[in-house]
Amino acid sequence: MKLVEVDCLEVASRLAGIGFSLAAGEVLGLIGPNGSGKSSLLQCLAGLLPHRGEYRCAGSPVATLAASERARRIGFLPQACSSAWALCVEDVVALGRLPWGDDDRAAIEAAMRQTGVENLRSRRIDRLSGGEQARVWLARVLAGQPRVLLADEPIASLDLRHQRGIMETLRQHADLGNAVILAIHDFSLAARHCDRLCLMQQGRIHRLGTPAEVLTESSLSAVFQVPVYVDLDASPPIVLAR
């Protein structure tokens, strides 16, 4: 069954004619220049931005779902995360259980284990490094056990080890029968970890398909307006501006 089905999704002056579907186990990477609509699309899918068009999650129209039911099915990791208060890691992760109205220890422990933050559980979030914080923010979303996980640039400004760790955790979540949609600027990581990519330009889908179909020199050069060098056969794949 398709976990996400989107058709003719529109947001005035931001998104137009967006349509795609995603099956359980799939990771979809949203790529495109700044301002191309990646974050707006993720916010629409998370239920944060009003939109027109069809959007179904696990068969149900999302517009008809109660907010808490929507939040149980769809988890959202925003681009910039921060905590106003010096909460401990465990309390931040437990926030993921709010839509369920419980404090499911097993789910919280599993999320901390998946992201490798069990040893940080009693540390204050504001005293962790950027990479450690990124893992905690992801653990918070995973604790809600969402069928669809939306992540807006989850690896921006992380070191190589944390970038790989986050991408592998997202991959694992998809492999458990869920779907993941993430906005990403690192094409090499996108090529390695995403099943399909969606190249966006000015609020529309320019190209949608496997990494090999989307990451071509011609389409990337056209959208980013710089000459691009692509070698997807290399390990790891190479995609760079010339």
Partner 1 sequence: MIHLLCLALALAAALLSLAAGTTPVAVFSGLGDWLTGVDSPAALIVGEIRLPRTLLALAVGAALGLSGAALQGLLRNPLADPGLTGASQGAALGAAAVFYFGLFPAAGEAAPALAGLLGAGLALLLMLALAASAQAATVIMAGLAVSTTTSALLAVVLNFAPNPFAMQELVFWLLGSVSERGLEHLYFLLPALLAGGTLILRQRRLLHALSLGEQVAQSLGLAFDRGARWIILGAALLVGASVATAGNVGFVGLLVPHLARPLVGHRPDRLLLPSALLGASLVTLADIGVRLLPPGREIKLGVLTSLLGAPLFIWLIWKERRA
Query: Of these, 20, 55, 76, 187, which contacts partner 1 (CB under 8 A)?
Result: 76
Query: Of these, 83, 172, 201, 221, which contacts partner 1 (CB under 8 A)?
Result: 83
Burial of 227 (0-12, 13-18, 19+ CB in 10 A): exposed
Query: Of these, 64, 86, 218, 242, which contacts partner 1 (CB under 8 A)?
Result: 86
To the nearest whole angstrom, how small is the minimum distance from the Cβ of residue 72 to partner 1?
7
Footprint (CB under 8 A) of partner 1, residues 37-56? 43, 46-48
Burial of 133 (0-12, 13-18, 19+ CB in 10 A): buried
Q: 3-state DSSP call for residue 38?
A: helix
- When asked if residue 66 is in the footprint of partner 1 (CB under 8 A), the reply is yes
Specify the stretch interacting with partner 1 by CB under 8 A; choose among 82-90, 110-118, 155-163, 185-193.
Answer: 82-90
Helix or strand holding residue 172 (H, E): helix 160-175
Name residue 142's amino acid. L
Specify the stretch interacting with partner 1 by CB under 8 A; choose among 27-35, 73-81, 102-110, 161-169.
Answer: 73-81
- When asked if residue 67 is in the footprint of partner 1 (CB under 8 A), the reply is yes
- When asked if residue 92 is in the footprint of partner 1 (CB under 8 A), the reply is yes
- When asked if residue 81 is in the footprint of partner 1 (CB under 8 A), the reply is yes
- When asked if residue 132 is in the footprint of partner 1 (CB under 8 A), the reply is no
197-200: Cβ within 8 A, 24+ apart: 197/28, 197/29, 197/30, 197/31, 198/20, 198/28, 198/29, 198/30, 198/31, 199/31, 199/32, 199/223, 200/30, 200/31, 200/32, 200/36, 200/37, 200/38, 200/41
- When asked if residue 128 is in the footprint of partner 1 (CB under 8 A), the reply is no
Specify the stretch interacting with partner 1 by CB under 8 A; choose among 21-29, 52-60, 85-93, 233-241.
Answer: 85-93
Q: Beta 228-231 vs 60-61: how paired, if at all?
A: unpaired
- When asked if residue 82 is in the footprint of partner 1 (CB under 8 A), the reply is yes
- Count the alpha carbons within 13 Å of 121 in the hemisphere toward its beta carbon: 11
DSSP assigned state of 120: G
Nearer to partner 1 by Cβ, of 84 and 106: the residue is 84
Q: Beta 196-201 vs 27-31: how paired, if at all?
A: parallel
Q: Dihedrals φ, ψ of 18, to 5°?
A: -85, 130
Nearer to partner 1 by Cβ, of 10 and 91: the residue is 91
- When asked if residue 84 is in the footprint of partner 1 (CB under 8 A), the reply is yes
Residues near partner 1 (CB under 8 A): 43, 46-48, 66-72, 74-76, 78, 81-88, 91-92, 95-96, 98-99, 124, 140, 144
